[in-house]
Structure 1
């Protein structure tokens, strides 16, 4: 299944896939280890406000979205790129819910693609912290400009390869871990197996 993957990432107006909106998306379609398609676009908000906090995090300003791509066109292009491939994201529970709710609004459907969450694997294999930038640092992966979709997607692809080289990631297909101190994700694909997990920490120095 790793011979045909789509690594994708969304920047959004907030945390709710149902109520918030995607403002930037990016995807890499990879076949037999080669990038065959690269896609990146800003997405128009159509009357919605862009929270200042999001601009602070991403650098995306309201005026940048005025002439951006229409949401329906953007998601139709993304789905065309994804096809039936294995979807990959860091913190996939977040991105998958935005994909689901956008597809619901646009066409009244969802997706059935298998997926891998590199964050779930990170928590299983490594001590805290597990953000994409932390994991890139662990594996010596260059990440310029975190929290911009295409930069994050390229880094996630490199992270997936490094993790798979270390030990096969195929057992993690369709598995989503969530921190036990929080409730399970509000929405997950029907084919997902969810489980509670804990962060592991480096032991404190005795001295």
Structure 2
């Protein structure tokens, strides 16, 4: 199942996938366990960044001067993804941004199968479940978190570790969301969506 996957990540101007924009994207295409393609680009958002976003990502307005256009960036990403299985940590977030960008730029969406490593993490481990937390817990080196390419390689290593523990196949096209919050505003039609609660260590 993991012989043809794309691990991807977006850094964005905010949380609302319809109103906000991607400022950085990264992806690695993995075939038969080997990374065959990697892509990373800063993307023009068409508006100034909020200070909080710069604080989280380290990306500044100056860095985005001359960045890749949204249209070109998503064309490249879509070509890399092809028909592969999509993988992301907190995939509900990234899948929404991917869907709305494709809708805006091409009038279409995507039908790729996907796996969310955060859903698996919440199912198998006690809180916390951020990518940095899970990598630290499992001894995975993650340098420069909240920069897209670093997060992508961290997510790939996390997926391999989770799959080595026990097959991740039951989590195909599965999105868990915290029940104390509303469900995601959009999910793929083929997604199985269910509410979850964090477990805490005694």
TM range (shorter): over 0.9
Matched ranges for 1:44-193 at <5 A: 44-46=44-46, 48-193=47-192
Residues in 2 aligned to 1:16 and 1:109: alpha-carbon distance in whole angstroms: 19
Q: Which secondary structure state, in structure 2, belongs to the residue aligned with residue 119 of structure 1?
A: helix
Q: Deviations over 1:15-69 (max 9, x none)?
A: 01100000000000000000000000000123x1211100000100001101000
RMSD: 0.5
Deviation sequence 1:163-185 (CA, Å, 0-9, x none): 00000001101000000101110
Counterpart of 1:39 in structure 2 is 39
For the residues of structure 1 that align with 2:34 and 2:114, how far apart are their CA atoms?
A: 19
**C-alpha contact (below 8 Å) 2:13/2:45 kept by paired residues:** no
1:98-130 per-residue CA deviation (whole Å, 9 max, x = no partner) reads 000000000000000000000000000000000
Q: Which aligned segments of 4 or more residues in structure 1 are displaced greater than 4 angstroms? A: none
Compute the TM-score of the two structures, normalised by the length of structure 2. Answer: 0.99
Deviation at 1:79, TM superposition (A): 0.4
Unaligned runs of 5+ in 1: none
Separation in 2, partners of 1:128, 1:52: 28
- Taking the aligned partners of 1:188 and 1:157, their CA distance within structure 2 comes to 22
Query: Distance between the aligned counterparts of 1:19 and 1:10, measured in 2?
Result: 15
Report the TM-score, using the length of structure 1 for normalisation.
Answer: 0.97
CA distance in 2, matches of 1:77, 1:90: 21
Unaligned runs of 5+ in 2: none
